[in-house]
Structure 1
Amino acid sequence: MPIIDSRAPIETVGARAFTIPTDAPESDGTLEWKETTLVLASVVAGGKTGIGYSYTDASVVPLIEEKLAPVLKGKDALGIEALWQAMRVEVRNLGQVGLVATAISAVDNALWDLKGKLLGLPVSRLLGEARASIPTYGSGGFTSYDEERLAEQLAGWALDGHFAVKMKVGRDPAADPHRMAVAREAIGAETQLFVDANGALARKEALAFAEKAAEFAVCWFEEPVSSNDLEGLRLLRDRAPTGMAITTGEYGFALWTFWDLLAAGAVDVIQADATRCGGITGFMKVAALAEAHEIPLSSHCAPALHLHPCLAACRAAHMEWFHDHVRIERMLFDGAPTPSHGSVSANGEPGLGLRLKAPER
């Protein structure tokens, strides 16, 4: 029988940046912003083009084109693990976290999209689907919002069927009990309320905040203290009110960060972001750690990208439906997912099921 060559040598690797203003000034417990940058990577092989992205800085574009592209050209596009390792080796002396990790993430995500297109399968099928759909929770509730906009946004998500909504806290802790009361009134008793301090609070301050938040049936307290403070997170996990999950992981760029969080018993739910942690390849490695520790996993932001790995990850519990990124992904891509009755499914198209929209003339 003839031997069929199934390799698909990579021909080109490129990147471009899109910086998009927010629809209003936004802030959380520790940061303020008025725009968001998405870096789109593209990889061509076998007559197909894969696209993937990261929410990062435009300076990542030359890093991809000048540092990562030469390592990948001519290599087999189907051998993603080997390509992932080759990129990590290439950046050894640049460090493996921060901007470098987001660059690798964007390219890795493009490679998965390309592999799906080459094989005619959705990425979730390539990874091995564990479920047909996954629940979503609405996320925004920025500290820059007035009461009217806060209530309107959260109530809208509750009406759309999201099982939970998340709001930002920590910029003015004294004002947050009133903001949480507004949120609870807006969403009613049945929708779960999550809060995210983005590491704004000190340990004892966070403990006191957790007690107050419990009065509004808050059941998720994200980054009550810095994600680097493993002892503080463990303190919160041990002493927070019953039924309140302590969570973090969005700033994990390397696998060892997730290992440290899980080994320290610092979280009830581990979060991961495939635009930061090494792409879908890195995300699935975090998913394996979560399964080994029997801890639920939740994706951070970038819902159009996270849909496929969340459908495959055994311990994935839900996805974040983040206001900024939902808006951006619908602006830039055809095929961006839309939840139905509080959960979302893949559209069945090969790869990630996304197509970059043609620029308006």
Structure 2
Amino acid sequence: MRITGYRTLSTVHDWGRPIGDANGTVGSGRTSVPIVVLTTDTGLEGIGLGSHDGVDALFPALDGQDPRAVVALYDRMLAWVFKRGHTGAVFGAIGALDMALWDLKAKAVEQPLWRLLGARDHVVPAYASGLDGPLPDDELIRLHKQFAERGLQAVKLKGGLDVADDVRRLDLLSELYREQIGSAPALMLDANESWARKEAVRHIRRIEEHVDLAWVEEPVRRWDVDGLAMVTRSVKAAVATGENLTGLEQFRPLLAANAVDIVQTGSVWGITHFLRVSALAHAFDLPVSPVGYDVNPLGHAAAVVPNHLSIEIQDLGMPVGIRADQEVVDGHLVLGEAPGLGYVVDEDAIARLAGPGSWDEDAGPHVRPDRAGRRLVVKPAIRNGEAR
């Protein structure tokens, strides 16, 4: 089997609600989902999700190769961008192609990827996380009631701007999940790199006077080894980070400095990256937790990782034109028996889309606000335009 070509598609995920975090909001609730499809001379096609940026430059590294040599081809792609670097969107393109390669490898032997990777079971522990920063209380409760009805027993809230608001919203979720599941849920708070070091410690300690936090996520900048280590030493909650790091070389300093308690990877960076980071974390006796993405592509890899803690479920719906052989049941992501990743893409449905989605709006969560890490008060005065 040889790789013969590729095509790119773009669909949308309609969340049915505004989504966002401390950095910003996508008010339309309609976001883009890039898809890469690798074609082969046998007619099999591999599906990957991640980024289109850099695919054109990376494809020559795969052209004519046997896709079953996934790990070697992953390193070949890294070598292909040796001089200009593999970070950012390019790493997302590597991740999408890597995902498509693993999909092909499993399809070639007509097995689901979780079984090909060597997992004993196809049931993966999961937690709820609705990108719920902009939601008012009634919509927050409505959303998380759906998660609780699926048996999820841990929940992550977007916050970080107002201590009192975070405590109140965490209490709301705790009460809701107690009613639905009959016990207190594990509670997490995600600040999305919005704090300075001391600001993080002050905010978390004040929350911990009222709420038992399982972990706090990305309290300071992703590369701030000293700052993350300081936060870890200063609060009771575990510190989770890593979703925006691209490559083992970015994780190594954090682990060596005891600056992280829960090691995370972003789903858009691919399966091989997750497996390698998980092995590195395992050497330090640290758990890993994949950050969620459309159709939960790291679920198959999480099923085989011995130090996997829980996978993030961001939504119960699917992007337009994508079906996945998986479901959320009794607090777990349950993977099916369909070959590969278990994805089916309806290109006709995607072609009928009325318009694109976006993550890159000026007021969206992917654009860092001017005052992030420098907020003395919750709502700073507006001067020369809108303060964020």
* Letter of the 1:23 counterpart: G
**Could you tell me whether the CA contact under 8 Å between 1:134 and 1:317 is conserved in 2?**
no
**Could you tell me whether the CA contact under 8 Å between 2:325 and 2:338 is conserved in 1?**
no
Q: Find the counterpart in structure 2 of residue 183 from structure 1.
A: 173
Q: Find the counterpart in structure 2 of residue 199 from structure 1.
A: 193
More helix by share: 1
* Letter of the 1:109 counterpart: M
Q: Equivalent residues in 2 for 1:45-84 (5 A)?
A: 45=40, 46-54=42-50, 56=51, 60=53, 63-64=54-55, 66-84=56-74
**Could you tell me whether the CA contact under 8 Å between 1:304 and 1:337 is conserved in 2?**
no
* Letter of the 1:292 counterpart: A
Matched, 1:254 2:250: no
Determine the C-alpha separation between the residues in 2 that align with 1:270 and 1:306.
Answer: 14
Determine the C-alpha separation between the residues in 2 that align with 1:157 and 1:213.
Answer: 24
Determine the C-alpha separation between the residues in 2 that align with 1:42 and 1:333.
Answer: 13
Determine the C-alpha separation between the residues in 2 that align with 1:143 and 1:106.
Answer: 27
Asked which structure has the greater RCO (Cα within 8 Å, sep 6+), the reply is: 2
Determine the C-alpha separation between the residues in 2 that align with 1:293 and 1:88.
Answer: 25
Aligned partner (choices 290, 293, 305) of residue 297 of structure 2: 305
Distance 1:130 1:235, change over 3 A: farther
Q: Find the counterpart in structure 2 of residue 285 from structure 1.
A: 276
Matched, 1:120 2:110: yes
What's the offset of the Cα at 1:173?
3.9
Q: Equivalent residues in 2 for 1:22-41 (5 A)?
A: 22-33=15-26, 34=28, 35-41=30-36
Q: Find the counterpart in structure 1 of residue 336 from structure 2.
A: 347
Matched, 1:218 2:218: no
What's the offset of the Cα at 1:82?
1.9
Q: Find the counterpart in structure 1 of residue 366 from structure 2.
A: none
Aligned partner (choices 116, 133, 139) of residue 143 of structure 1: 133
Determine the C-alpha separation between the residues in 1 that align with 2:235 and 2:344.
Answer: 44
Distance 1:240 1:79, change over 3 A: same
Q: Show CA shifts across 1:92-146 (max 9, x none).
A: 2332100100001001100000111111111112221154311110102522110
Q: Find the counterpart in structure 2 of residue 4 from structure 1.
A: none
Q: Find the counterpart in structure 2 of residue 240 from structure 1.
A: 235
| TM-score, scaled relative to structure 2 | 0.83
What's the offset of the Cα at 1:284?
0.7
Q: Find the counterpart in structure 2 of residue 295 from structure 1.
A: 286
* Letter of the 1:171 counterpart: L
Q: Which stretch has the larger CA shift, 129-138 or 158-167?
A: 129-138
**Could you tell me whether the CA contact under 8 Å between 2:36 and 2:97 is conserved in 1?**
yes
**Could you tell me whether the CA contact under 8 Å between 2:174 and 2:184 is conserved in 1?**
no
Determine the C-alpha separation between the residues in 2 that align with 1:271 and 1:130.
Answer: 23
What's the offset of the Cα at 1:13?
2.0
What's the offset of the Cα at 1:200?
1.0
Q: Show CA shifts across 1:1-26 (max 9, x none).
A: xxxxxxx1111122222244542332
Determine the C-alpha separation between the residues in 1 that align with 2:72 and 2:167.
Answer: 50
* Letter of the 1:354 counterpart: Y
| TM-score, scaled relative to structure 1 | 0.89
Identity of counterpart residues, as a percentage? 30
What's the offset of the Cα at 1:358?
4.8
Aligned to 2:312, what secondary structure does the other structure show? strand
Determine the C-alpha separation between the residues in 2 that align with 1:172 and 1:213.
Answer: 10
Aligned to 1:182, what secondary structure does the other structure show? helix
* Letter of the 2:344 counterpart: R
What's the offset of the Cα at 1:179?
2.2
> CA RMSD of the aligned region, Å?
1.9
Matched, 1:85 2:85: no
**Could you tell me whether the CA contact under 8 Å between 2:265 and 2:289 is conserved in 1?**
yes
Aligned partner (choices 321, 333, 338) of residue 322 of structure 2: 333
Aligned partner (choices 104, 109, 128) of residue 99 of structure 2: 109
**Could you tell me whether the CA contact under 8 Å between 2:15 and 2:317 is conserved in 1?**
no
**Could you tell me whether the CA contact under 8 Å between 2:107 and 2:340 is conserved in 1?**
yes
Gaps of 5+ in 2: 353-388
Gaps of 5+ in 1: 1-7
Aligned to 1:305, what secondary structure does the other structure show? coil
Q: Show CA shifts across 1:150-170 (max 9, x none).
A: 122223322321120111001
